[in-house]
Amino acid sequence: MGQRNRKHIRKNGSHLHFLTGILFMLMVSAGSFWWGVLGNFAKEDKNRAMEEVHTGTKQETEEYYDGREGADTLEQWNLILVNHENPIPDNYSVNLVEVEGGERVDERIYEPLMEMLEDARGVNWGALPVVVSGYRTQEKQQSLYDDKIAKYKKDGYSDSEALEMARQWVAQPGYSEHQLGFAVDINGAAYDVYLWLQENSYKYGFIFRYPGNKTDITKVAEEVWHYRYVGVNAAKEMYERGICLEEYLGEES
């Protein structure tokens, strides 16, 4: 092969490289175009999915609240019924705040609770009544429940007797108002505190939740120390009509 021919081949080769280069660039830009389009679809899908999840939760909440009649919309959260046949709502979440003594409650009841306890000092030898049990986790409720059953068994009761007796004092895990964060057990230094609370708690939005004359409805023995927040309007009406939360909500059975 002569000098001339070799030169010619080289020339053709670089021409070929140039064409391949252009083709390659076209492929890359087309690729990134489709990549972008697909990416946008994926993003839209994700947004749509998130919206659906969000709407789903909202609808569920509204449906849940729609079942409760005769209540001010703004106070609906206060009226969630948790008792022997109504467990805490699914995926229930709560913002907690610590009260004096270390127990925690829903932040929305903190102010009325502290106001009530401060006002009760006068009938408690000047001391602030103590919240001995506020919010409870599922685990906490479970351990209280198990301990109570064990105690009755130790006292000689049969398994079924122990279970029945324990349930009058400690709700089954998942069925305690304490798991909502709106209920408190109050320890007074003087018994007068409990009498004062029965006559005055409604002014702060709290109810004497388990009075002795409603045990057939609440299925809970009288607990003078247990108070539940329901909001001032509902508490006042329950106090004046002498009805419990189940009766107020038309859910007594």
* Residues taking part in catalysis: 223
How far, in Å, CA of 174 to CA of 84, rounded?
9
Quick check: 98 binds Zn ion (CB under 5 A)? no
Q: How far is the CB of 148 from Zn ion (least distance, A)?
A: 13
Burial of 174: CB neighbours in 10 Å, binned 0-12, 13-18, 19+: middle
Which sign, positive or negative, has the C-alpha torsion 160, 161, 164, 167?
negative
How far, in Å, CA of 153 to CA of 169, rounded?
15
Quick check: 226 binds Zn ion (CB under 5 A)? yes
Is the CB of 98 or the CB of 185 nearer to Zn ion?
185
Stretch that binds Zn ion, among 2-10, 54-62, 187-195, 222-230 (CB under 5 A): 222-230
Is the CB of 37 or the CB of 132 nearer to Zn ion?
132
Which tokens in the block code for residue 172? 């089954």
Stretch that binds Zn ion, among 35-43, 83-91, 106-114, 221-229 (CB under 5 A): 221-229
Name the residue whose CB lies closest to Zn ion.
226
Q: How many CB atoms lie within 10 A of CB 32?
A: 11
Q: How far is the CB of 106 from Zn ion (least distance, A)?
A: 14
Residue 163: HSE in the Cβ half-sphere, 13 Å Cα cutoff: 5
Count of chain residues binding Zn ion (CB under 5 A): 2
Q: How far is the CB of 88 from Zn ion (least distance, A)?
A: 14
Q: How far is the CB of 178 from Zn ion (least distance, A)?
A: 6
Fill in the amino acid letter for 9: I
Quick check: 252 binds Zn ion (CB under 5 A)? no
Stretch that binds Zn ion, among 44-52, 107-115, 140-148, 220-228 (CB under 5 A): 220-228
Length of the chain measured in residues:
253
Q: How far is the CB of 115 from Zn ion (least distance, A)?
A: 20
What is the pattern of x (binds Zn ion, CB under 5 A) and - over residues 147-186?
A: --------------------------------------x-
Is the CB of 167 or the CB of 226 nearer to Zn ion?
226
Which sign, positive or negative, has the C-alpha torsion 251, 232, 140, 57?
positive
Is the CB of 65 or the CB of 198 nearer to Zn ion?
198
DSSP string computed for 197-246: HHHHGGGGTEEE-S-GGGHHHH-S---TTEEEE--HHHHHHHHHHT--HH
Question: Distances from the Cα of 129 to the Cαs of 9, 64, 181, 194, 199, in angstroms?
Answer: 101, 35, 18, 10, 16
Binding site for Zn ion (CB under 5 A): 185, 226
